[in-house]
Structure 1
């Protein structure tokens, strides 16, 4: 092998190693609650633990429970920070579920308490373009929205229609 070829391969390998080892995992939370019961987790620093193009698009048709997304994935720390004390309740009650679907840049999955979806139901939305998470918690005719970085994901078409149906079933006014 020529000296130039070996030098080129060495530089490529060194560059690849450098890129892989520079992954940033900084989370700072400043939670607050406003008067409309929308809980906002304002992560004022870089909240990107995962690259949105990494594995998020591979989640379509996959199970949240089967993928261990709530407990053992790279977004688990973000969910814990976002939901705070509600995180354990979400994990406990995410029994009956729908697999991930994708509409535009939005991934969606839902889960609820087995045999009692009217008491505890959750909708998980991930905006893959902006790398933001929203969790909608329906509990005893009340809706609480957890929005990462104070970023409300805009729901359209069938996602908005499904959300409005759930609101009607829970006696909560629908969004327009």
Structure 2
């Protein structure tokens, strides 16, 4: 009940200063879309079982900055092709998100793995018979290698 009263009071104040409900809604939506803007990657732990699209994973600045640096021009390919996805997995200090190209999952697919213990981001990109793996520390992530061998 108190939340409703406070929300109503805030709305009334905003209306008095000329802020419309649409503007308030836009502000709320903007706040929802900025998950992961903190420099830490700890926010990834909260995404267990959620879909990358639903949490706007590629809007998370701390993650996308690292992905862009790691993948270079391949980042845009991954983001624009990533369509079909499974729920995010967070276990054993690993964050795992995977997706694929719509109607072409067998040939074009992706995996993103973040190791919380090592603070290391790894990515796998498969296009047909060509598979490329990327890692910030140059190592081979066991989870990415498992993806390479089992797909």
Which category of TM-score, normalised to the shorter sequence, fits these structures? 0.5 to 0.7
Given candidates 57, 67, 76, the residue that maps to 2:45 is 57
TM-score w.r.t. the length of structure 2 is 0.67
User: What's the C-alpha RMSD, in Å, of the aligned pairs?
Assistant: 2.1
| Corresponding residue for residue 164 of structure 1 | 149
CA distance in 2, matches of 1:65, 1:151: 28
**Number of equivalenced pairs:** 114
CA distance in 2, matches of 1:71, 1:81: 15
Do the aligned partners of residues 154 and 119 (structure 1) sit closer, same or farther apart at CA in structure 2, a change above 3 Å counting?
Answer: closer
TM-score w.r.t. the length of structure 1 is 0.58
Q: CA shift at 1:163, angstroms?
A: 4.4
Q: Which one scores higher on RCO, CA 8 angstroms, separation ≥ 6?
A: 1
Runs of 4+ residues deviating >4 angstroms: none
| Corresponding residue for residue 152 of structure 1 | 140
Secondary structure of the equivalent of 1:55? helix
Write the deviation string for residues 121-161 of structure 1: whole angstroms up to 9, x where unpaired: 001111011111111111111110011131332339xx83x
| Corresponding residue for residue 139 of structure 1 | 127
Alignment of 1:26-65 (within 5 A): 50-52=39-41, 54-65=42-53
Which sections of structure 1, spanning at least 5 residues, go unmatched?
A: 1-48, 167-176
